[in-house]
Structure 1
Amino acid sequence: MSKPLFYISLLPFIMVLGNSMMIPILPDMQSELHLTEKESGYILSFFSFPAAIIIPFIGFLSDRFGRKILILLSLFFVIGGSVLCAVSIWFPHPFIWLLIGRVIQGIGAAGTTPLAMAIIGDAVDRTRQGEAFGLLEVFNGVGKVVAPIVGATAAAIYNWNLAFVFVIIVTVLSLVGIFKTIPNKKSGNQVNSIRNYLQDLIYVLKSKWLEIFPLFYMGAVGLFLLFGILFYLSYYIEMTYHIDGFFKGTAFMFPLAAMTIVSYWTGKQLKNSGNFQSLTLIGISVMMVSFAGMEWNHSFHFFLFFLTIAFAGLGFILPCMNTAITSQVSDGERGFIVGLYGTARFIGVALGPTIFSIWIDDVGYMIRIVFILSFSMLLAFIFHQLIMKETQPYLQK
């Protein structure tokens, strides 16, 4: 692996750190800052909503100003927001300063993974792009597994704000490496005005909404369930077993590792439409059965077991959604569609902790809603397949 590719691969790792590292330390933050569960959910949501808003415009901005410049600017935002979050505890009204820092972090995070993918598309030879994109997924997966452990351990060693120092260190490493090793080049595409960009965006939505909405829905609901249930699990472990630090972080490792491993395997299997259909159905079925098992027995050990199986099911679904969205649109539409899909996913991430904080005291009700949402993913998939039969052949072999 070359140095430039290593530094680029740190970008999705940084995005994952932005939220995943916070999940196990939310109870500590709530206790020290005297927050409600709903307010602690804002700590995740105020990162995700700004990213959701900005992601659709990242491609346009990088075409106009260059990939490298926008990546460096994004990383400066991540560093600035992380510094503000780390020192917020020293200010009057620390929660307000913390949320401002999270917004700044989120603005910066919007330009990490999308620009990493764009710069690989520009600079890496086509024969090696598959390897490079695979490396991005590896760093993304490692981030999901490692981030909760790092966050919980940092809080146990000193305080929750130490977790933000780790984000700063990794981000500075990526920024310096990209500044030294990556040339600044624009995409080579014709750069439209913002007005024309918005017009094109609206046109794509009008012409493709029936085909893409079910895929957007499944991706958003999947991430909603992922971050919502992890938010609940953090409080469940804290309130029931009073476990903190490294051992609390390892509890998150099992479901996230299962999702990462299955996602990697699924990505290698996605070669044609038949694979897409069967793998998506397997994933949704696994999630529904697992959530039904939680309703049958939601003691901690059974809950963690069924959650690990459910997230393995999600590992089937998310790569299928990525492949479907990028494969069924033309080259000229792909940037718009992928950007909007990123927004849908981030909305799911943002809403998960906030909504689950309302259900946190009634686990039975929460699990029933979770099962209903997984069933709605099945309905969305069936609807998508019916639409595709009526409009056009699906993925081309």
Structure 2
Amino acid sequence: MTETFDIISPEAIKSGRATDAYFERTTEALDHAGRNPDVVAEVTADQFPTGTWHLLAGLRDAAALLEGRALDADALPEGTLFDGGPVMRIEGSYREFCRLETALLGFLSHPTGVATRALEARRAAPDSTVLSFGSRHVHPSLGALVERSALLGGLDGFSNVAAGDVIGREAGGTMPHALMICFGRGEQERAWQAFDEAVPESTPRVALVDTYSDEVDEALRAAEAVDDLDGVRLDTTGSRRGDFRHIVREVRWTLDAYGHSDVDIFCSGGLGPTDLRELRDVADGFGVGSYVSNADPLDFALDIVEVDGEPAAKRGKLTGAKSVYRTEDGGHHIGLAGHEGPDGAESLMEPLVRDGEVVREIDLDGAIERAAADADRVGFETGQ
């Protein structure tokens, strides 16, 4: 049996091996013809502003892919919201980056989808703790991608331990149903107490309270079994949930009635923005899983728009290099490079790579702050 997983290595990605086969055919044909034009290429999802906002993520990996290549690249800052136009521009001889297109688009497309969904969840419950619980729904090699993008979108924490090692943040979490089941029906107190006695002092004491009996019953039993319990978590499966809001309110009422007003209530289990909006006034926090982790990648494309200094683009694409602006009213404006932008507008395209050297610090904390501020600026909301 093989000792490896079905994962393309970082070395193969960096070398350009993780490419669509027709790019290998392209380099062979250009090499045969002795042709290697200087081009300007742009990464774009939509040509003109659409009114549907997306949160740019994945720029750190994209920059690392381009590093060491004889080319220049500009890009929007990570954590910028956009609804059309280019998010990155690459200038150089085409064969220098031809075989990188497939990986480059993947580095941007999937994280942008995840970060956008995370921002939707964040905006749905702006005053609640919202955690990312969804990395179990994707290939394990993508765990750090999911968790970093979730943080960028504004979520407060995540569950994947190895992802924390990669991005330099500590994962969090308390207990699964499996722990409760290992102790057995009627022995919930033993499970909660074993957890309380075993885990580090810094770990929040949050008890799972829907394994065998009514959530109200288990919540009260947990609060009385564990001293200084921080919270209870309701992960009620959909087939047994009924009116989830009513259940949460009943748990809150009962905890208060028995003197446990300091015990918070957390909810998880297939939740999305609509659920968070419905529950945010009765629950203290949420775990959001597949809604964020299973986001569709944004359909970016890389298109040549200039060849040897002359405008050039395929039919249906806007020719010529472009500039991107944020207008004073929060609008996103695209114009031809070299032309004057809107009055008072901020230019968003910034240097990323110069002659193969990454010239911009890509900082996760800065991107998180930028995303939150930009969401306010453009009035980001979701109808889901």
Taking structure 1 as the reference length, what is the TM-score of the superposition?
A: 0.25
Q: Which of these two proteins has the greater Rg computed from alpha carbons?
A: 2
The structure with the greater share of residues assigned to helix is: 1
The structure with the greater share of residues assigned to strand is: 2
Taking structure 2 as the reference length, what is the TM-score of the superposition?
A: 0.25
